[in-house]
Chains A and B, each alone.
Chain A
Amino acid sequence: MASIISVKDVSKTYRVPQREAGLRAALSSLTKPQFLEVEAVKSITFSINPGEMVALIGPNGAGKTTTLKMLTGLLQPTSGQISVNGYIPGKRGNDFLSQISIVLGNKSQMLWDIPPLDTFQVLGEIYRIPKEILRQRIDEMVALLDMFEILRKPVRNLSLGERMKCELVASLLHQPKVLFLDEPTLGLDISVQNRLRSFILEYNLRYQATILLTSHYMADIERLCNRVLLIHHGDLLYDGALKGLSSLLTNSKIIRLTLSEQQSEQQSTAWLPEGAEIIERNHHNFTLRVNRSRTAAITAELLKHLPVSDLSVEEPALEAVIDRVYQDGAL
């Protein structure tokens, strides 16, 4: 199958003005500005097939939003080739723009002082959607998101969750073939998150839309995406199934341990068996990460040397796995 998004050796380097604190430095920066080159994205390559839902994950500042902005034409790549639906995004042609959409979780595209329905109608005109079809699409999405009662209230009076529903509807009115979602569930409560996820899934199934999303919520990714792209410090560290990522990383197990006596800081490092690492500690509850092959031996050692009142062995949670990648910067 021909890919709908293709990214080849794409890099993005920002030149950031740089100066020391203080008046003298401020003045000299006027005459001799110093720049620091920051490589936000370093030569990444990937491609996405039509209808795929892919998550772009990575810590803050990893280059996710930069990548999305390059794919939508808001930023020009420093080098490399990008093709989205057969277009070069950086040219920002109207044909290209009519077939994509981007939802920025932290920036609203709704007109603030008038009801969402008015914004939808303006967008309908901008994308030249016939009135009848526009009404059908609004009705359909409004039903799916259960947001009928907010259509006629000014947007500024809506809650964050209600606004996010509006953002999604607004960006899907023209039925984009490619949808970019930048942290669509940021700051939303669990039930709104769930509803948005079902909605995105439904949209993908109905229209075979290709969706690339960034999120810090693993639930988003587990529910929506079969494939993840993990970016860190601008490098593409992993491209593949989510399951693959965790099995690649879960060379470890988690031991949860409750001690009957409080241990001092010094003691707690002294009793730590080889190959075990404390990842969390709360009074006398400890969470250890241990090598999978040494789990049995370490458990035995812990029981032998410490006043253990409770102990359990678990598979690491995906969040913890990802956290480790973010901290270490490598797989």
Chain B
Amino acid sequence: MLTKAQNFRAGLRDGLPICFGYFAVSFAFGIQAAGIGLSIPEAAVISAANLTSAGQFAALGIIAAGASYLELAFTQLVINLRYFLMSCALSQRLAPEMRFAHWFGIAYGMTDEIFAVSCSRPAPLSPYYSYGLIAAAVPGWVLGTTLGAAAGNILPSVLTNALGIALYGMFIAIVVPPAKENRVVAGVAVLSMIVSAVFTFAPYLKTISSGFRIILVTLLVAGGAAWLFPIPDKPVKEDDHAA
């Protein structure tokens, strides 16, 4: 059993790659935010309050157009609905006796990346581990936004390009080890990539937004795998690295 401080430090350490990756992505967001006429504090507050990449990029277009709050709310709902699935999955990894106040902290940090890293931890998930991840990731996200909005051209593009792959590298490092041990997980991973590619390039299907595409692929592949290969009914003990 790790202490709160140990869990927090482990979260900080595992959150470092998220911090780098976020810096690169939010730097690009900051540039675009300045481009539609937002001030540096406005851009920074958007990032600190939302902590969501695709949703924030989409919001810029809506704010720039002066569209209605309803349209903004609906767009965010569609793009960010995947967090709903992630929270459902994560709810099963929390200790039942955890204080409910932690829900509010964990929910704030429910991003693709923090969710991903959380799933690579043995259950039950310590909220202090989540806070460590958040404490590492959020500064990268907000600082990148601020610098991008303040001075979009201080980083050479070759450097932001290289940082752009960091988050994906992390995703791969999370999926591969359990996929090596469990053939169904490996099948789920490979099939999800194939289906995702089909949805990205095929006529008609490619018009689906990226947020919705991820939801559809997840429902199809994880749903199919659950139907064909249900996990054992009574787990002997909590799985070490799986969701």
Partners in one complex: no
